[in-house]
Structure 1
Amino acid sequence: MRWMRPQHAKGMGIMRAVKNARRTRTSFEWDLLGFGLCRAWISTVFALPIPALLTLGYDFSPWYFLPGALACVVVGIVSERTVPERARTTILLVSAALTIIGIAGTTSSIGVESEAPITISLVCTGIGAAMLQTLWGDKMAVLPSRDINLYTVASMLLAALTSILVWSATSLEAALLVFAVLPAGSFILLFRGFDSGRWSIPSKMDATEELEDGPLHLDRLCTSIFVFVFVFNLAYTTLPASPFEDMAAHPIRSVANVSVTIALLAMLLAKGNINQMSLYRLSFPVLLGALLLMLVIPDEHAVLASVLAAAGYKLFDVLFWCVLVGLAHENRAISWRVLGFGMTANFLGMGLGIGLRERAWAATASGALDPTLLVCGLMFALVVIIMLILPESVVSQIMTRSSKKQRQEEPSLAQRCSTASEMHGLTTREREVLVFLAQGRTQGVIARKLSISEGTAHTHIIHVYQKLGVHSQQELIDLVEGIAE
């Protein structure tokens, strides 16, 4: 019998991805996909859209996003001074109550000529949505760093797929049904993991271990989130002249989101993680390139630039959510500040970016504002972020801190082998052999290390294989790697 040191040969990546997918499926916390329903609910406000179906004829987005941004500021400041369990319970109850009021108010406003009822309903709904998303961030912050990436990508894939499906809701009744079902499902899945103000999901985090100086560069990160989200939403909903009536709502954006998240999910399954620095290096150039294309390509091909912009935005969306939740994970004592301020930047960018589109349309149509000047201004804002506010050196510091924390959380090889030995009833000598096998050592090396004959080492190896139920050293290594403390 021959044992080989693991090599990165052809086909090994595919086999590893399949095994990772199987392990992920068996240990996947399906409740956490409720975050995807929350994101779909927020995005489908444009795809339905309820106010347009009421034929009120005014821009509603500021009344939805800006109160939500203000609510997140309050959450970030007040919750930090309150007992975490009490703050979590209060936010959950307030969010659920405002969501119910908002949906009920929207339904009852049908046929009412006054703008006041629908405006109040949108304010309640926006605050409820912002607080619900913050709660999901708090729940995901309990997870290990690697799992945060997995559930973020999986949830955003679900949100994109759901957005495509709800685009078919053309009637008022269907739109209102979707508008109520999505948040209801998200709240139900969120509440399933809620127990007396705590999240009852497995945690590998030492709750007493906190970083001394708080999250690194939170102000820079939130400023960058605001600018990026603002630039994208203003450009995407204003430029270029599109063959679609409303590119913010068109499912082509969801198709781009699906493509990006599927690629990221495949990377996660193949490599076990995603490189957040690569997301940073891709997202800004992709959006900058899309802005250039919006100026140089003909209007009938403008959808290409829109798809490219949507892809760049989704890369940044995944990045900023993973980083924010990761910072909240590392700094549980001030996690509400991290999540609250981060969600404030996100909702503020969307509210102002989409809210200014009417004025931007009017200004460009009348000739008061040159579209080239507008695009140059947006590109300049992105360049300032890249060069001054959030350069790669700052991002690297944030990533380095997160990677150090992740390495502290991950069990060592010895711990994994100890767990496997206890699970499968290995003897003391077989435990020693298991450690060497997991390191990729050959039979001869094991015999020399343990000062035993190769025949004895061979016998121990056979027993280890039999007890663990594997047939090769690579299967043994994969089994040990899949064991968590």
Structure 2
Amino acid sequence: MPHASATARTNQMRALMGGAFLPSFLGLAATRVWLQVNLFASYTQSDDGLFTVVNNLAYGLVMVIGAAIALRKPFSKGNRTTVAWLGFAVMTFSTVLILAGKETGAVDILAVASVCAGIGGALGGGMWTAAYVRLGLRQSVLYGFLSLALGSLGGLALSFLPEALSYTVSMFMPAIALLCYQRAMKTDVGPQPAPEPIYDKEPRSTMLFIFGGLAVFGLALGISRGFPAGEPVPMDALQRVVHQMGVVVISLFIIWWFIVKRKRLSFSFLWRIEIMLVAAGMLILSVFPGHFTGLAIATVNIADTLMLGVLWITLQDVARHTTTDVYAVYGFAWASRVLSRDAGRVLIMVLGAMGASSYAVTAVIGIVVFALAASMALLLSDGILKLRPLFTEDVAAPARRSAAGAARETRRAEMEGAGASTPAPAAMPSAQAQPDPQEWFRDAFDLSERETEVALLIAQGRSKSYIAEALCLSENTVRTHAKNVYTKLDVHSKQELIDLLQNRE
């Protein structure tokens, strides 16, 4: 009994996580720690001023170039390996340059280091897209936001070290990230339903809405981070803790909400969190100027950092459901965010250098409010993508079921033709020993296709409202299908249904 109980708990955990735990995918956190130290001065201030502007410009331009190349010709396996190694090399080299520039005070070395850091950050972050696109939705949310939380904890710890030591420690992050990436690319992520390229049929106007929404929101973030005078705002220990631990808490909440509680994750839900954080930061800046500036910037930085996770899992979901190369999907969207944020940062720097009057400050606040309102109008909806809502979990595709049925008919014909004397190919016993759950449910209990889909979603712990939305049915229809399923399977509860599925032969 104890062994059976432990097995049941293990199976339950695997179901929650979408498969076995895959620690190599958390190597993304190492990349994020490096980015914080080398691009944003460990967030000991709102950013690193002109150094951040330059490296973010290089970062965004590399993203655009890479996306354009991938759009014209998808990256091969060899090309992706090259990107990973280049990212490792340029990231490490740029940290060496930063240390040398700060030690000698040489502006020219720091200028080159800034450009190299932006290029390395784009390559080192971009390489992970090829690994994450292999994951299912639940895995992507789990490892994406867990990496974000771990990266915040690591960045917070390094922010309290002496500057030279924090850069030295960060120098090892690219190597750790590369090793984890290589392992992640070889790791068996478990069986995943084959996603259909449904987004290939999306109208082009959809992409304009998405990029436009990201751009105006990025503009608001850039302005907020340098408000009101354009100079980086120093952040004391408490403000750094508020920023980084705020990211950790919200990331863990999202994991708890979607993975543990099995609630539906919607894009509008995540976007509301982003909007509210930036709006709260700007409210504090405008109502209490000079008194709570650090706290306001910490709040804005929570939104900016959290945006990494939100955009990461959103683009992962899009990339899995289109034939467009993953580098193109991530590259253009990420560039629209980074370059627009950089433009906002430059705007507030220029106004600060000119000596911002009260009128100019009011105008800046108006721009931020307009940008937030525009991003809400463009992106605050789950229906942005017309053909499939974001974060809808895949089920076994009909083509896959048909293939399984065809394989079964082939095996039956071979058995009859050979008098069951000829052994089946090596792959056949495995297929028979572990039948597809959807095939098994349908054939063993004479369920319809829709009843089978409802049964599997119930076995995943989904609510009737979730099933109704996922399958485009009314809740009454779902109840009818569920009643038929329980009758045909002779079960009386959700747990009995789950046990039946787990104990199938």
TM-score in terms of structure 1 length? 0.73
2:345 is equivalent to residue 345 of structure 1:
no
Match of 2:376 in 1: 386
Deviation of 1:30 (Å): 0.8
Match of 2:270 in 1: 279
Deviation of 1:333 (Å): 3.3
The structure 2 residue matched to 1:120, chosen from 88, 103, 112, is 112
Q: Distance in 2 between matches of 1:354 and 1:247?
A: 21
Tell me the secondary structure at the aligned position of residue 104 of structure 1. helix
Q: Distance in 2 between matches of 1:479 and 1:165?
A: 45
Match of 2:414 in 1: none
Residues 285-300 of structure 1 aligned to structure 2 (within 5 Å): 285-297=276-288, 299-300=290-291
Deviation of 1:225 (Å): 1.8
1:47 touches 1:163 (CA, 8 Å); kept in 2? no
The structure 2 residue matched to 1:72, chosen from 58, 63, 70, is 63
The structure 2 residue matched to 1:377, chosen from 331, 353, 367, is 367
2:98 is equivalent to residue 106 of structure 1:
yes
2:159 is equivalent to residue 167 of structure 1:
yes
Q: Deviations over 1:383-412 (max 9, x none)?
A: 12323x435375363762652x72456999
TM-score in terms of structure 2 length? 0.70
Matched letter for residue 190 of structure 1: Y
Tell me the secondary structure at the aligned position of residue 122 of structure 2. helix
Match of 1:149 in 2: 141
Q: Distance in 1 between matches of 2:232 and 2:63?
A: 36
Change (3 A) 1:242 1:257: farther
Q: Distance in 2 between matches of 1:371 and 1:308?
A: 20
The structure 1 residue matched to 2:225, chosen from 226, 236, 253, is 236
Q: Deviations over 1:165-213 (max 9, x none)?
A: 11111241x1222221222221211122346xxx864462537856443
Match of 1:43 in 2: 36
Change (3 A) 1:146 1:180: same
Q: Distance in 2 between matches of 1:125 and 1:260?
A: 28
The structure 1 residue matched to 2:169, chosen from 178, 187, 197, is 178
Q: Which stretch shifts more, 428-437 or 180-189?
A: 428-437
Deviation of 1:32 (Å): 0.7
1:48 touches 1:170 (CA, 8 Å); kept in 2? no
2:21 is equivalent to residue 33 of structure 1:
no
Q: Deviations over 1:138-182 (max 9, x none)?
A: 32112122322222211111112112111111241x122222122
Match of 1:245 in 2: 234
Q: Distance in 1 between matches of 2:14 and 2:351?
A: 46
Tell me the secondary structure at the aligned position of residue 171 of structure 2. helix
Match of 1:466 in 2: none
Match of 1:266 in 2: 256
Change (3 A) 1:478 1:181: farther
Matched letter for residue 374 of structure 1: V
2:271 touches 2:380 (CA, 8 Å); kept in 1? no
Deviation of 1:33 (Å): 0.8
Tell me the secondary structure at the aligned position of residue 385 of structure 1. helix
Matched letter for residue 201 of structure 2: D
Tell me the secondary structure at the aligned position of residue 104 of structure 2. coil
Percent identity between the two aligned chains: 15
Q: Distance in 1 between matches of 2:37 and 2:373?
A: 30
Tell me the secondary structure at the aligned position of residue 109 of structure 1. helix
Q: Distance in 2 between matches of 1:290 and 1:45?
A: 25
Q: Deviations over 1:261-299 (max 9, x none)?
A: 121122121116523221123422442343233212364
Tell me the secondary structure at the aligned position of residue 27 of structure 1. coil
Tell me the secondary structure at the aligned position of residue 155 of structure 2. helix
1:109 touches 1:118 (CA, 8 Å); kept in 2? yes
2:214 is equivalent to residue 225 of structure 1:
yes
Deviation of 1:318 (Å): 3.1
Tell me the secondary structure at the aligned position of residue 123 of structure 1. helix
Match of 1:90 in 2: 82
2:62 touches 2:122 (CA, 8 Å); kept in 1? yes
Unaligned runs of 5+ in 2: 1-7, 405-429, 460-478
2:53 touches 2:342 (CA, 8 Å); kept in 1? yes
Match of 1:9 in 2: none
Q: Deviations over 1:341-378 (max 9, x none)?
A: 02212321343344455434444x55375322211111
Change (3 A) 1:476 1:433: farther
1:102 touches 1:122 (CA, 8 Å); kept in 2? yes
1:234 touches 1:357 (CA, 8 Å); kept in 2? yes
Q: Distance in 1 between matches of 2:341 and 2:493?
A: 52
2:36 touches 2:43 (CA, 8 Å); kept in 1? no
2:226 touches 2:349 (CA, 8 Å); kept in 1? no
Q: Deviations over 1:319-345 (max 9, x none)?
A: 322221111111143322211102212
Q: Deviations over 1:121-146 (max 9, x none)?
A: 22122111112212212321121223
Q: Distance in 2 between matches of 1:92 and 1:144?
A: 22
1:324 touches 1:339 (CA, 8 Å); kept in 2? yes
1:38 touches 1:133 (CA, 8 Å); kept in 2? yes
Deviation of 1:309 (Å): 3.3
2:37 touches 2:43 (CA, 8 Å); kept in 1? no
Deviation of 1:219 (Å): 3.0
Q: Distance in 2 between matches of 1:241 and 1:146?
A: 40
Tell me the secondary structure at the aligned position of residue 386 of structure 2. helix
Q: Distance in 1 between matches of 2:502 and 2:296?
A: 42
Change (3 A) 1:260 1:22: same
Tell me the secondary structure at the aligned position of residue 271 of structure 1. coil
Matched letter for residue 384 of structure 2: V
Change (3 A) 1:21 1:357: farther
